[in-house]
Amino acid sequence: MNIGNRIAKLREDRGWTQEQTAGKLGISRASLSHYEKNRREPDTETMAKFADLYQVTIDYLVGRTNNPQATLSEEVQGFVDDLELSDEEILEKYNLSIDGQKLTSEETRRFIAFVRAERSMSN
């Protein structure tokens, strides 16, 4: 089952219309329709919104597992939840950079979202 089929099934299982679901996600109904029909794939941020809305993992949405509830261990989840790299003091202390350029706060937040998605997919 591909991403579109999974998100359509999750929506239908809840008895939600595309209009209701799009409103909950903050996207247009047309975008949701394109995702469900596999005409387009959601970006990382939208994938995270789908996972949060449906309370499933991104791994489940992309078909890497059939277990919609696979999660990080409690210990790892606690560490991830407590670590806040967007704090200016932490950014200064660790001087995170890519290609020799220091990451901005916004880049760091996007990086954290990506790492969390990757971690959820590896379980």
Q: pLDDT (tens digit, 9 = 90+) per residue, 101-122?
A: 877 777 877 877 888 888 878 7
Domains annotated on the chain, with CATH: 3-62 (1.10.260.40), 74-121 (no CATH)
pTM score of the predicted model: 0.56
Query: How far apart are alpha carbons 64 and 61 in whole angstroms?
Result: 8
Query: How far apart are alpha carbons 40 and 52 in whole angstroms?
Result: 20
Which position has the higher pLDDT, 22 or 103?
A: 22
pLDDT at 30: 97
Instruction: Report the amino acid identity of residue 34.
Output: H
To which residue do tokens 């932490």 refer? 90
Query: How far apart are alpha carbons 89 and 9 in whole angstroms?
Result: 44
Query: How far apart are alpha carbons 33 and 4 in whole angstroms?
Result: 9
Query: How far apart are alpha carbons 15 and 42 in whole angstroms?
Result: 22
To which residue do tokens 């949405």 refer? 61
pLDDT digits (tens, 9 = 90+) for 42-84: 999 999 999 999 988 888 898 877 767 665 556 655 655 665 6
pLDDT digits (tens, 9 = 90+) for 2-14: 899 999 999 999 9
